[in-house]
Structure 1
């Protein structure tokens, strides 16, 4: 039985903004709860209001609630929303950060001395392991071996299972199966000799400690009584095992996910835990969120057509109005080009025209299947005078000007001031060269201004009454978790890195066989994963969506459109010829207006 608090003094402010289904999820405070939440259906709103409602009603002790997700950015977003809702004391972390905190706390007690250091990345140690194993290896192959190690650990399988996987899928690069296994064993031996652990070991070591030490298990389970797991379709066997150890047989867990957005199966994620939740918990409360608040009805219709008949797929309905109140949202289209360069240049031209018409550059994205596609789009957008940033390139808080600004703001915030927050922040940023108006033209000066301006714009997102000191602390927290603010530039991103984000306008180029689905997608399961990738890309768009493909790329003159396009039944307009380079160059420097 689910306990529902009905005190209107508590319910009104926290639940009034939710729709009926979201409210059911928010009021289901106890027992196993499964929220099947389609793209754009307000799942984060539902779960944060659920947590805040539990805290406000007295059902939850905020210090004993753990909200779990999969990226530092997502965890930071949860913390920010919970703080606004009055539940800032609730822990919102990734699985790895929660496990690492427990490992560092209990290791000295159980084993004596500090916990082993965690490797930043596997590459250097793998290189040394290759020398020890007498294996020659290049950088791409090294990355593939690292991925095989990660898959084995998060999947909770041994070397024999890895041998089977390598035998069926092929070993990395020019390595044989046995060479790969030798390299893996040499890596593990080196790691142990150096008293180090990798990212995946953190999960395994924490789970092992809880299993082996009853006192540790008791303390962990006493510390956290209620769990919320976001993006549950991405959970791996190792994470699921750790979650079960944290729960210790209790059922106070709420999971949230969408099987149609499972795009990390190659890394060990399994939607089976989400789809099988009701079988594992027959008394679970199951809520379906299918009302999409993000996308136009036309975009929602395209998404539904792509996933029609797929296991676990939710049928979305569009809650967003058709258009912005003054004109209807344009229907999605598919465009065909003679070659990739023509495709990239026309995408850039259309984006340039949208920016000139008043669209903010940061409201537009170009989403690609693989990183190698980005170069031609960076070039085409640059020719068109459009500011662009490649997501996954240098992190925002790693930029020198951003580090300088964060340090300066934290130093200035030590002084007591009654000035408005906007003035305090602006004064610091002006001392670093920022101004209200952007510099003319693209280049390094404009890039620096964009970075500082992104920090300035964070002031607008702060709750009323935020002090300079609190803002500085929030900025430090963002920097530590790499929770990046929006920058006034078009985003170029892979479909994988776009998950969890949204834009007013999305371009999905390169939709050909061999790219989406990717050439190495072998078998029905791999093809379904590619389908889900396209679904993620489509559902990132709010009002405008354009898909495209090119008939040739270099020497490959006969390419076929993606099989998925044939299922969508979208009109194909005549693709306009790209503007001459001279015409585009004359318009440079007007980006971001």
Structure 2
């Protein structure tokens, strides 16, 4: 059985998988198979008898990633591993121990922090606007995950937020905490704080947790906050069986408290740590990796990615990733849309194409340009697939149909129901909401057509409900539009990275060295999402933007210049300005 967990691994991956006793740090570059290594390492430990599944905790940052980890472990024949987010694991422990410690049930979780903040503001006689309240909510989250008190936070934040001076900002945070306590509620950050506090204050609880979980794996370790790291230390105790996996070059949540030094300093914190570097990239062609390596050259913790054998080693000017300059944003959007239309005409699956950008506001022009060409697109960050009204309606009708006998195969029943709701054999010519609805219904039909032979309609609808619970969403046959943050962890064969200009990437409020370095890592994430082709573009616009400084750092050896309009020359080598005109207290991470 242990041989199965080692199948298809390269030498470095095998080293990571077979090193079962910690501490172990796996430095895994983009596309090097980190999730494969994590799951195969756990499976190998179980198969060899080194691990008991119920004593393994695998921690990650999103419910989707945790669900994928459980699915991969099931495929390897491993059940019973606690693959959870930090919050889910902490909440489970609080729910278990709270009644015996407090003699009562666990407080409710705040469902809307901004709304509660608005009530807290009313109580102290102020009325901040909604954007300000969103910023305050983000600041509360950052303060807690970095383990600062309100007084400590205020001392470091002398300028306040928006129209709230520092005194009113402190008053609002205290009012929020008081109102939350009065309503017997906790927010998500309190869940981590309370769990850590419980483990520190109650030795018998700590002993019980240590007895339950003996082997720990943490994914995306570059994204842990000081609070999460403290909680992890309490979970692990004085044991050494911990494996952390991450890539410092993909640290893009510093604004939310992520601290890559926990990954970079892991071997110094653990004298006997084993460090394994994964640098063979199985996703991208060599020409794309050359761009990524140039961008991150000399940065702390940067890995030098090399293409796996069998990947295209394209180095001719015609096959290099391209950079294109446009006159304005509309021209850029239309130019990118035309290139996507050419790709679709050449038979490329729309699901393998993505347009990535720094901020949500940049999506409007590209959505319009694609719609004008009749190209369907899905914007990540919108409604989840199973929350779409077309999908919910279809699921309701399919559930209702399970009570009646079915004369034909269930796929025909699904097709008939979807046709009655507007599904046609061919998609609508235009883009927009009508096309979006068609794509959603078509995805439901495709799931039915791809279902295992012999599946019943009841089993099919049960599977849809399971997918909805675990956020296992099908891919729509559309081009994907996404911010660079939303794109992390995903991949496409063909990526169009737009807005590569000063003020957009790096974004205008990134003024310090650390903030600009985070923008660099965002660009790196975007570049390494691409498998076969990469096009980069920027638009001068009415404000006479300059090309991103990152283009100058990458240079022309790895990027070929294309003329997008009346702009000429090689935009990748122009010198970007160094002066900033945006106030220095604008911090990255202001959501919205």
Q: TM-score, normalised by structure 2?
A: 0.89
Whether the 8 Å contact between 1:508 and 1:546 is mirrored in structure 2 is yes
User: Residue deviations 1:11-48, cap 9 Å, x none?
Assistant: 33221211111111111112211100000001111111
Q: Does residue 563 of structure 1 match 2:552?
A: no
Candidates 282, 285, 289, aligned match of 2:278 = 289
Mapped to 2, the partners of 1:470 and 1:318 lie a distance apart of: 42
Please show how residues 74-473 of structure 1 align to structure 2 within 5 Å: 74-167=65-158, 170-319=159-308, 321-323=310-312, 330-407=319-396, 424=410, 427-428=413-414, 430-433=416-419, 437-441=425-429, 442-458=431-447
Q: Does residue 24 of structure 1 match 2:35?
A: no
Q: Does residue 58 of structure 1 match 2:42?
A: no
Whether the 8 Å contact between 1:438 and 1:446 is mirrored in structure 2 is no
Q: Using a 3 Å threshold, how does the CA distance of structure 1 residues 165 and 520 change in structure 2: closer, same or farther?
A: farther
User: Residue deviations 1:452-483, cap 9 Å, x none?
Assistant: 33344456888899887776555434322433
Partner of 2:573: none
Q: Using a 3 Å threshold, how does the CA distance of structure 1 residues 330 and 473 change in structure 2: closer, same or farther?
A: farther
Q: Using a 3 Å threshold, how does the CA distance of structure 1 residues 545 and 268 change in structure 2: closer, same or farther?
A: same
Please show how residues 399-548 of structure 1 align to structure 2 within 5 Å: 399-407=388-396, 424=410, 427-428=413-414, 430-433=416-419, 437-441=425-429, 442-458=431-447, 474-548=463-537
Partner of 1:588: none
Q: Give how far 1:330 is off.
A: 2.8
Q: TM-score, normalised by structure 1?
A: 0.89
- Local SS of the residue matching 1:547: strand
Partner of 1:38: 29
User: Residue deviations 1:402-442, cap 9 Å, x none?
Assistant: 2344456667789999x9xxx54563354233869443324
Mapped to 1, the partners of 2:131 and 2:482 lie a distance apart of: 21
Mapped to 2, the partners of 1:309 and 1:430 lie a distance apart of: 59
Whether the 8 Å contact between 2:118 and 2:127 is mirrored in structure 1 is no
User: Residue deviations 1:513-546, cap 9 Å, x none?
Assistant: 1111111112111111010000000000001101
Q: Using a 3 Å threshold, how does the CA distance of structure 1 residues 87 and 426 change in structure 2: closer, same or farther?
A: farther
User: Residue deviations 1:309-338, cap 9 Å, x none?
Assistant: 00000011011644499x999310100011
- Local SS of the residue matching 1:45: helix
Q: How many residues align?
A: 560
Q: Using a 3 Å threshold, how does the CA distance of structure 1 residues 277 and 381 change in structure 2: closer, same or farther?
A: same
Structure 1 residues 78-87 or 493-502, which shifts more?
Answer: 78-87
User: Residue deviations 1:117-150, cap 9 Å, x none?
Assistant: 1012201110011111222211111111001100
- Local SS of the residue matching 1:572: strand
Gaps of 5+ in 2: 568-592
Gaps of 5+ in 1: 1-9, 579-593
Mapped to 2, the partners of 1:102 and 1:508 lie a distance apart of: 42
